[in-house]
Chain A
Amino acid sequence: MVPLPNRSHLQLLTVIGRRLIEGLFTAWAAVTLTFFALRIAGGDPADNLLAQGLASAEQAQALRQQLGLDHPLGIQYLEFMRNLTRGDLGISLYTARPVGRVIGEQLPYTIALALSGLMIALALGFVFGALAAWRERTAEGRFAAAMSDLATALPVAFTGILILYLALMLSLAIGRPMAAPGLLLPAIVLGITSSGPIGRVVQAGLRESLNSEYILAARARGLPGGARLLWHAVRPALSPVISLIALEAAYLFSGTVVTETVFSRPGLGRLLVKSILEADFPIAQALVVLAALFYTTSHILADLAAIMLDPRQRRAG
């Protein structure tokens, strides 16, 4: 690729800078909102901690003091923000372990699931999207379009149970017991769920570029049909897909919540749900910060990729 001229570099930096500031603001807003929402609606952690233990009111009060939960909300918030800027995520109320360590243990599982889910989503999305656009008026084209629609419409929990059930039927049919669920089944479920929107965007983009003048011109120049033509048409259709992947990445996180539960896998999704239900505020807050930063980063990367792929966007940026 030809190196970008300096002017473009500057523009690129401006875009990134603006995105970064927006991203930090988003992260701050998200974590502030979470901080107060949890404390207003999430219940009293001391009550939660002692719920199963039939503790006395005095024990509950003592615990509240120890955890600093008897301070005014504003003070608690300032304390929390001060620690956060120092990179101190706090201590889990439930297990007295450092939040960073609790999250660190679960993070690799979610990354593995989300990445492999994304790969499968991309593969399925491209196959069905391309097929739907390329063979628009045939049975297989319509079948492919319908698959994308179905994948968009089905809830993750349903797909999950369906896949588990299919796997069980097959394992019974071939007479071999199933191993404890590894990565494959949950990744397929997550992949199917996220493949729908990708398929649709690929289909729409391809349809547009296949009908565009430059493809017509290429055909007129004698470029044969089939794969090479498809490749020509794919490149301009990629840019909306890249943006979508950034959005999907955020959705993938919410998809992991259900997938991890259905497949009894460790991960951040389950940790988030549990920490909210148990009013383990430090863990829930740290996960929100993490999600906001991740969301922001993936958007910046998507913007960059879009600019690389489609020089027209440099001016727009």
Chain B
Amino acid sequence: MKANYLRLLLLSTTLLVGACAPVQQTESSLNYGLTLSPSGLDPHLNASAELGIPLSSVYDTLVFRDPDTGEFVPGLADSWKISPDGLTYTFELRDDVHFHDGTPFNANAVRANIDYIVDPQNHSQKAVSMLGPLVEVVVLSEYRVSFQLSEPFAPLLDSLSQVYLGIASPSALEEWGPAEYQFHQIGTGPYRFIEYIPNDHILLERNPDYAWGPSIYHRQNAAIHQIEFRFYEFEATRSLALESGQIDIIGEVPFREAERLSDDSRFSLYPTPIPGQPMQFYFNTRVSPTDDPLVREALILAVDRERIVDTIFGATSPTASGPLSDVLFGPLLPNRLTAYDPNRAGALLDQAGWVDLDGDGIREKGGSKLALVLVTPTWGSNPQAAQLIDVSWEILGASVEVISAPAFGPLKEQQSNGEYNAIGLNFFGTDADLLRPSYSSSGLYNWSGIQDPDLDQLLNMAASEVHDPSLRASFYQSAIDRMERAFVVLPMRDYVDLVVARSDLIGLRFSLQGWFPFLIDLTFSS
């Protein structure tokens, strides 16, 4: 009797799997797992990094950046010139490019794209701010266009190298408008946009006409015929999807799973550094006790950052060494962040007047306890880091309350309340100007509340230094030096995207931003 039930159970489970049809895996099609299903897929209007994974191969940009050197290389623009005052960028455009819908690419197309982005009715979330103090785009001739600025803005070329400022077919923008264009995207890139069903899939097909790729692409034309992207938002399902053959490649694999899969000969692990700010916590300099630099320094020294990063993220993730990632920004970091030193941390607190007089393990000063509120985002393993930071600070003699914020809205809400001592927030980016919103006195994300006119001036001078990169770098070195001496941020971990792919998928490389693969270079080894 019991054996019968068992047989029945086995039979039904077999039927269940049998019902899943086998995938027709031809060499020229690829299934790519995305980890977030973006709300809104228009690169000009929406901001998610995930959308760039498919779309950076649908669009070309005026310029590209070499992922190895960071140098700018020609894209849709053959060459460019920046006026001595830094206010005019003139681009000579290629004359041999057409969009997937046949529309020819020219100066008017560039202008139409920028007009679409800056139109306030279209609510651009990211691209519009990447343009900085842009006044207008002027069409000088069919293949010559200039960008006019009201003040010098050094990050502009970097902005123009990103998918958010990729050039779309002006006739498609006109035809579909901001609400529907995301479903009918037309670019000039190595892949054509075929279909997007929200939360289900995105489909791309190779563009056989592609003949104007930048020098950073290794191949002239895409080898893989068709790429289907599906969304795996639930972390635990990513390695299952790889192992079951549903997908050939996916990023953001949890590190233990990634390590396990890298031991499997069927898969290869690509730890891909993402430049920008590290995972970090800002200290609130406006409330006690973190208004005292001695306390902030002590709180940094009390955290064994290397060990925490190693525990949570494994060997593939480097400990952060400053307010910017070591990858891409290494030369800007004076690297003065001191190593773990709990004894010195305790001595600093003593010096600041925080002493445990009643022997309850918590330090006091003037009748009040050393109490800290730590606000952590719930994404990107921040809570695990916050938990271990909490323990370090309690050992130091503080009582710590950890508050979790499940999305940016609630996080901002906590920040607006102002009742926090430390709060987690970071942005990714490939230009050091991303420090400005976070550390200048009036910056929208100045969540530490640092007010330092000299720092403001350094960051502004760096942003407008268009012609001399080494001078610009020296401004940033001085700025970061000031920031680190003020102890306003606890940097934890430089971000690394753990991408796992089938071992027979070859040619995988990523753009300077780290997130975006060069799909054109991918092939399957036979």
Residues in A lying within 8 Å of B, measured CB to CB? 41-45, 47-57, 59-60, 62-63, 66, 92, 94-98, 102, 105-106, 109, 139-140, 143, 157, 161, 164-168, 170-172, 174, 176-182, 184-185, 188, 260-267, 270-271, 274-280
Q: Are B199 and A265 in contact (CB under 8 A)?
A: yes
Which of B20-28, B367-375, B489-497 lies at the interface? B20-28
Residue among A48, A54, A102, A157 with max Cβ neighbours from chain B (10 Å): A54
The residues in B between 234 and 268 inclusive whose CB is less than 8 angstroms from any CB of A are 234, 236-237, 240-241, 243-246
Q: Are B129 and A53 touching (Cβ within 8 A)?
A: yes
Contact of A43 with B408 in the complex, beta carbons under 8 Å: yes
**Smallest CB-CB separation from B122: which chain A residue?**
A96
Question: Would you call A180 and B14 a contact (CB within 8 A)?
Answer: no
Apart from A167-B16, A264-B230, list 11 A-B contacts with CB within 8 A. Answer: A41-B410, A51-B408, A53-B128, A106-B198, A140-B5, A161-B240, A168-B243, A180-B230, A263-B237, A264-B233, A266-B200
Interchain CB contact under 8 A, A97 and B180? yes
Q: With A55-B444, A59-B129, A170-B13 known to touch, is A266 a contact of B179 (CB < 8 Å)?
A: no
User: With a CB–CB cut-off of 8 A, which chain A residues contact B407?
Assistant: 43, 48, 276-279
Partner of A54, one of B2, B14, B244, B445: B445
Q: Is there contact, CB below 8 Å, between A165 and B240?
A: yes
Docked complex Cα distance between A143 and B1 (Å): 12
Q: Say whether A51 contacts B1, CB under 8 Å.
A: no
Assuming A59-B128, A98-B179, is B16 touching A274 (CB within 8 A)?
A: no
Q: Which residue of B lies closest to A277 (CB)?
A: B407
Report the nearest A residue to B244, measured CB to CB. Answer: A178
In the assembled complex, which residues on chain A have CB atoms less than 8 Å from the CB atom of B179? 95-98
A270→B37 contact, CB < 8 A: yes
Are A270 and B246 within 8 A (Cβ)? no
Nearest 7 Cβ contacts at the A-B interface: A43-B409, A177-B245, A53-B126, A266-B199, A52-B47, A277-B407, A178-B244
Instruction: State A201–B406 Cα separation when bound (angstroms).
Output: 37
B234 touches A179 (CB 8 A): no
**Cβ contact within 8 Å between B199 and A106:** yes
Complex CA distance for A105 and B200, rounded to whole angstroms: 11
Interface band, chain B: 35 or more
What CA separation (Å) do A214 and B130 show in the bound complex? Answer: 79
Which residues of B have CB within 8 Å of A262? 234, 236-237
Chain B 168-193: CB-based contact to A (< 8 A → 1; otherwise 0): 00000000001110100000000000
Cα distance A81–B485 in the bound complex, in angstroms: 54
Question: In the complex the two chains form, is A57's CB within 8 Å of B442's CB?
Answer: yes
A264 to chain B, nearest CB (A): 5
Q: Can you list 26 contacts pairing A with B, beta carbon distance less than 8 Å?
A: A43-B407, A50-B129, A52-B49, A53-B124, A54-B129, A55-B125, A56-B437, A59-B128, A59-B129, A63-B123, A66-B120, A139-B1, A157-B234, A167-B16, A167-B17, A168-B240, A170-B14, A177-B25, A179-B21, A180-B23, A184-B16, A262-B236, A263-B237, A264-B234, A264-B241, A277-B406
**B72 at interface (Cβ–Cβ under 8 A)?**
no
B220 at the interface (CB under 8 A from A): no
Judge whether B199 and A261 touch: CB under 8 Å: no
Contacts of A54 in B (CB 8 A): 126, 129, 427, 429, 434, 437, 444-445
Interface SS of chain A: helix
Given A51-B47, A264-B234, A267-B199: A94 and B20 within 8 A (CB)? no
Residues in A with CB closer than 8 Å to B442 are 57
The complex places the Cα of A66 from the Cα of B237 at a distance, in Å, of: 40
Contact present for A53 and B234 (CB under 8 Å): no
* Minimum CB–CB distance for B331 against chain A, Å: 22
The residue in B13, B123, B241 that gathers the most chain A C-beta atoms within 10 A of its C-beta is B123
A-contact bits for B220-236, CB 8 A (1 contact / 0 none): 00000000001111101
Per-position contact with A for B390-414: 1 when CB-CB < 8 Å, else 0? Answer: 0000000000000000111111110
The residue in B18, B232, B409, B413 that gathers the most chain A C-beta atoms within 10 A of its C-beta is B409
Q: Give chain A residues whose Cβ lies under 8 Å from the Cβ of B23.
A: 177-180
Residue of A with least CB distance to B41: A95
Do A66 and B129 touch across chains, with their CB atoms under 8 A apart? no
Please indicate the chain B residues that have their CB under 8 angstroms from the CB of A94 in the complex.
39-40, 46
Tell me which residues across on chain A come within 8 A of B121, comparing CB atoms.
66
Complex Cα spacing A275 to B409, Å: 11
Given A43-B410, A60-B444, A177-B246, are A52 and B125 also a contact pair (CB < 8 Å)?
yes
Q: Is B460 an interface residue (CB 8 A)?
A: no
Inter-subunit contact B47/A184 (CB<8 Å): no
Within the complex, the shortest CB–CB distance from A177 to chain B, in Å, comes to 3
CB proximity of A111 to chain B, nearest CB, Å:
15
Distance A275 CA – B199 CA, assembled complex (angstroms):
13
Q: Which residues of chain B in 107-125 are interfacial with respect to chain A, using CB atoms and an 8 Å cutoff?
A: 120-125
Cβ of B503: which chain A residues have Cβ within 8 Å of it? none
Which residues on the B side are within 8 Å of A280 (C-beta)?
A: 39
Cβ < 8 Å to A, chain B residues 1-56: 1-2, 5, 13-14, 16-23, 25, 31, 37, 39-40, 42, 45-49
